[in-house]
Chains A and B, each alone.
Chain A
Amino acid sequence: MTATGKYLRIGLGVAVIAALIIVPMNFNRYGLYILSQWAVMTIAAMGLNLTLGYAGQVSLAQGAFVGIGAYAAAIMTTQGGMPLIAALGVAIVLCFAIGWILGYPALRVQHHYLAFVTLAFSTLAFLVFRNEDWLTKGIYGISNIPRPNVMGFATNRPLPFYYFCLGSLGIVSLAMWWLIRSPWGRAFVALRENPVRALSLGIDTRRYTLMAFAIGSALGGVAGTLYAPLTQYIDPVPFNLSLSLDLLMMVIVGGSGFFFGPFLGAMIAVLLPEWLRFTQGYYLMLYAVAVMLLLIYSPTGILGILDRYLTERRTKAASALRAVAKSRLETAP
């Protein structure tokens, strides 16, 4: 990569971050709520992107992990009166452990068989949320979930809470950036591309499969602990299978296996239906059609289009160079 390209990318990154901080300052409460929702869903989708995009394990349980995180936050902050950070710790450990255990079937089954196993878990989690009244208050849900104080700042107002979500997204993104560039990240990709070869190269595929599941699930838990104080009321319904499918769609539409895929995917899934609302009764249909067209045009998602474009440009540049070199060879005496 050229130096200008690198500066261009850094400049673009800084501009986007600055925009995310400055532009929402004069948004109304609705706009801030939607943006906060985007940040939360991006975190959950990033977790799934690690499991699916990098490690290649299909999971339909990410919504359930968001639910586990949300319930941990709701129960601990309302009934226990504990700070959200404690709930965050519990959610991460809990989701990591459950994700690890759920990873075991992935050692034996692959692709759609694995999807079925995780789907069953998703249903199981929903039933626990709904039927274990003593813990989750069942179908009535848990209301009046407080928003946290972060370093002395109350986040009750929409804008501070949005910054809280954005900050969390920033931290998670940095951690993820580091992770996928670490030997672990490379091991995950090796696992996706060719598990047999990965094994022959001395990568403990068993451990890394479980790890991919556990870390991805833990990020679902992180998103959940933010979701609960965002809506301030949770019941089991938002965490049913459709959330898992939504998250799966975000990862695929954004571009599975691309670092920025979940950001774009969550933007499509959260913002596009809102933009289309002016069409009244048709908005969900238009949204569905848009997603289908996108996936027909580019099965690798939005970033797949960009990737294809860049590859083409590189190929063209390379063939141009080759042509020049060839003609020089031919004209040489």
Chain B
Amino acid sequence: MNVKLLTSLISIFLLCPLIYLLYSVIGLSLDTFLYLWNNLLLGYSLNTLYLLLLTVFFSLILGIIPAWFVSTTNFKGKSFFDIILFLPLAIPSYIIAFTYSDLLSYTGPIQSIVRNNYPDFYKYVNHDYLQIEILAFLMALVLYPYLYTACRISFSLLGSNYINISKNLGMSQFQTFFKIILPISRVSIFSGLFLITMEVLNEYGAVKYFGVNTFTSGIFRSWYSMEDINAASILAVCLLIIVSIFFLLERYSSSKYRYNYKPNDNVSGNYSTNKFSRTVIYLICLFPFILGFFIPVIYIVNNVFKTINVVDFSELINLSLNSFFLASVSSLIIVAIAIFFQYIKKISKSKTVFYLSEIVSLTYALPGAVIALSLIIFLAFLTKLIGISIAFGSVVILVYAYVMRYMAVGISPLRSSFDKHPETFDDTGKNLGMTNFKLFKKIHLPINISAIYIAFILCFVDIIKELPITLILRPFNFDTLAVRTYEYAIEEMIAKSSIYSLIIILLGAVLLIFLRKIINKGVDVS
């Protein structure tokens, strides 16, 4: 079968619900939309922008600097830091938001202890912590690993050649970082930031709790409060367009700079440290981990011990299996499609495939609920069309929605990995008479294997945290860990939700550690 045709078919399959959503928007009455436009959208958009910029700012600080030190500097415990810096990714943003607001609240441990023991100091901790700036910081705490990973791979792959040259030119580590490494790592940095941006745009639970109205809140406001699903669709389409523009701009600017990377072949080119700089590095690397993982997990574990006697363990196992099954099946499908796309793109150099693989990433920007909504509308349309009823609440539909939603997470690491390897590999392989399949099996699969693991694990961790799609599309009596966590959390029973969130976090953390080991083997020889 023609591969281009096949990629097109897969893309259409993935995009069908959205295309139908776009189509259904045409000719709708604009009343509600205009109303939103006149009253709310400006404020919502500004809030979104502010939240986004702050989160990106915090993520840059939390992600890039440790990545730089871990990649290029020799210090004791480096591989340990490399693992722990990754772990906050296992924590869903709504869990970190609920955990910290509970921890910092009037009845939480910090305020209570100070109030009861040091009443004179109480005025210093008695604040309203539900602020947009704090929300941005909390989100950055669990999202920066996207950036960290992307930079880590890039910084390591850039290897010592660039660093050596800049050393020979007499540049300091600081100068090398800003003048050389940052500019040539921009593709990776942007791919990390893109994922963070999408996550922020998509966030709903935490944002709502903090009283921050974002663009996504606008979608839900028109859908839930104004009962106007059309306006919600129009807003979703707007969001899609905004993200596409973002995306195209980034693509366009990065396509002007193409760097071919060489694997790190000289490890001794790394920087060494003295005692003072080591201490600074330790602090810099510990900070994101302690706030983003250690403290929330300790708090959650403490809550687990408090509530352990009311936990229904058979149910817990059941929920864990559901989550595990959904996440692994969906991630496998995503990774398979993503590899296929990237590989076809690489060997065929086809523009069509290139655009298709970019377009299917865009769905990541849409809030999960919108994906679910578009699927529901689309399936209803299909049902009418073919006259056979399609079960909405089935695991297959759920997986379909996950694949749509998380395609970008799978594609992103694979793209940077595939793009990095010089095309001479393909030419040499072809000269040796290899078929495309053999070329893939013998060359691209092995050299991209770490990116494949990264893609799988990132998807897995994301899906296991997923909420709105699961809530809307799941079958009867079908719960996942994330759903149960959320149900307790919004009912203001944080303690009871803790065992479920702990399993999500542990499952994610174990996988991420595993992943780290693989990446280190594949990428960083040190």
- Are A and B a genuine interacting pair, yes or no? no
